Structure 1
Amino acid sequence: MKPTDAELEILQVLWSKGPSTVRQVHDELTKTRDVGYTTTLKLMQIMQEKSILGRTEEARSHVYHVLIGEEETQKSLLDRFVETAFRGSATKLVIQALGQHKASREELDEIRALLNEQLNQNSPD
């Protein structure tokens, strides 16, 4: 699944808030940028047609919910990004990311643990 940037914004709202009406999603989106209500409505209708969102009717309101997983979507987007921007090299991605953004001690510990896990999986027994 390869959602557009606008679709991804809607997905992020629904992943964090859970099932929501168009009004609720729109109110969240307008906290960070100017977007029309009808634009949000149309996007969510298109996302339903694409089986990205599901819709139920509750008390005369349409409530939308996500049909695709957040982690699965992130993996798909990351795979595409690594392939196109870094020619498939995870190493280049990590070097670029760490070179451009300062990681906290906790983040570095998490990265170190992941690297150790990878090394242990790849070492001969």
Structure 2
Amino acid sequence: MKPTDSELEILHVLWQNGPSTVRQVHENLSQNRDIGYTTALKLMQIMFEKGLLTRDEASKSHTYTAAVTEEDTQRGLIDRFVETAFRGSATKLVMQVLGQHKTSPEELDEIKQLLNRLNRD
């Protein structure tokens, strides 16, 4: 399931901080943008219904946890992006990214190491 941009922001907070109340998520999001508490609450309720979050109702303040991993979510978003924007070609994606951005020597070394590992497997 592909989360919306707003849902992805909430997931990032939960991945970074672990299980959190709506208030904690709202306070974190409010540091970077103007978002109302009720908006955060509604988004998190929708995300719970969609299966993106789990909810612990043991205490008065419900605690929410990401039900999807960051890695699986990133993989799904990348797969969909490569499919729709680059017609399934990872090569086109990599060439576009490397051609548009300044890549540090350290990043290039990491890419080379990854390619070497992929070639061995």
Same fold by TM (over 0.5)?
yes
Deviation at 1:96, TM superposition (A): 0.9
Letter in 1 for 2:50: K
- The TM-score with structure 1 as length reference comes to 0.91
Deviating above 4 A after TM superposition, structure 1's stretches of 4 or more consecutive aligned residues are: none
Give the Cα separation in 1 of the matches to 2:57 and 2:114.
44
Task: Give the corresponding residue for 1:61.
Answer: 61
User: What number of residue pairs does the alignment pair up?
Assistant: 121
Give the Cα separation in 1 of the matches to 2:89 and 2:61.
46
Letter in 2 for 1:116: N
Task: Give the corresponding residue for 2:18.
Answer: 18
Answer with 4-13 or 112-121: which moved more. Answer: 112-121
Task: Give the corresponding residue for 2:88.
Answer: 88
Is the counterpart of residue 49 in structure 1 residue 53 in structure 2?
no
Matched residue SS, 1:38: helix
Give the Cα separation in 2 of the matches to 1:2 and 1:27.
24
Query: Identity of aligned pairs, percent?
Result: 67
1:110-125 superposed matches below 5 A: 110-121=110-121
Deviation at 1:58, TM superposition (A): 5.0
Deviation at 1:30, TM superposition (A): 1.3
Give the Cα separation in 2 of the matches to 1:99 and 1:78.
18
Structure 2 segments unaligned to the other structure (5+ residues)? none
Two-structure CA RMSD over aligned residues (Å):
1.2
Matched residue SS, 2:8: helix
1:68-79 superposed matches below 5 A: 68-79=68-79
Is the counterpart of residue 30 in structure 1 residue 66 in structure 2?
no
Give the Cα separation in 2 of the matches to 1:115 and 1:56.
42
Deviation at 1:66, TM superposition (A): 0.8
Task: Give the corresponding residue for 1:5.
Answer: 5
Task: Give the corresponding residue for 2:99.
Answer: 99
- The TM-score with structure 2 as length reference comes to 0.93
